Every structure is written in C-alpha cells, then in structure tokens.
Amino acid sequence: MQQGAVVGSDEIAEVHRCSSSPCGIYFVKRKDAAVSVIFPMQFTYSNDADLARTFLMGLVEARTTAASLGKAPECSYDRDVPPSDLDGVDRQLLKNVKGGFVSFSFTKRRV
C-alpha cells in the first residue's frame, strides 16, 4: 500500500493506494475530534452498482435510526457528490469513481 498527502479543505487528506479497494484508493482525513475514512466506489456492472447502492443507503439509514447501533461509526453515502472532506483533492484521483462515495467517521466516543 502506498500513501501520500493531498491538501483538503482545512486539513490534509491522506491518499492510500490499495489494490483491494474498488477504485484502488481510499482517503483518510484527520480532524480534531474524529477521523474520516472515505472510499470511492467503482462497479463494473450496473447490476452490481444497483445492489451496492441499495445496501449502502440501507446501511446509512440503519445507522441513523437504530438505537442499538449507537456506538457504530457515522456513515454516509452519496452516489454523485464527493464528501466535503475531499474538497481540494486532485479530481484526477476521482476520475474512475462511478459508484459514489461511502464515508465512515470515527470519534473517540465510538471507538
């Protein structure tokens, strides 16, 4: 795995290269009280993309509505728009994203 730093909005978003990640990269952004991990998604087949989108939207919904998941990390998914944590990131790194972005935010309270 290779890594590097990319300037984000306020902090540095680290780029990690990983062959098992769908787009070959993921991002880690450290904040004062949390760490966000962002996975750009890439799907070869439209059926895979549809199934994954349904699952990811359900995951986000379950996290926000189920009291039993109170210690689970915050999760967000957007099919089209990169999260604000990636503001300032070289868009060339995101050119192959065709399935959206899933993000997890870890705080001390949730670890």
Of 3 and 23, the one with more pLDDT: 23
pLDDT greater than 50 at residue 24: yes
Token reading at 89: 């990131």
Q: What is the CA radius of gyration of the chain?
A: 14
pLDDT greater than 80 at residue 3: no
> Considering the entire predicted model, what is its pTM?
0.74
Query: Whole-angstrom distance between the N-terminal and C-terminal Cα of the chain?
Result: 24
Domain boundaries, the chain: 2-110
CATH code of the domain made up of 2-110: 3.30.1460.20
pLDDT tens, residue by residue, 31-89: 888 899 998 888 888 888 888 888 888 887 887 777 666 677 888 888 888 998 898 88
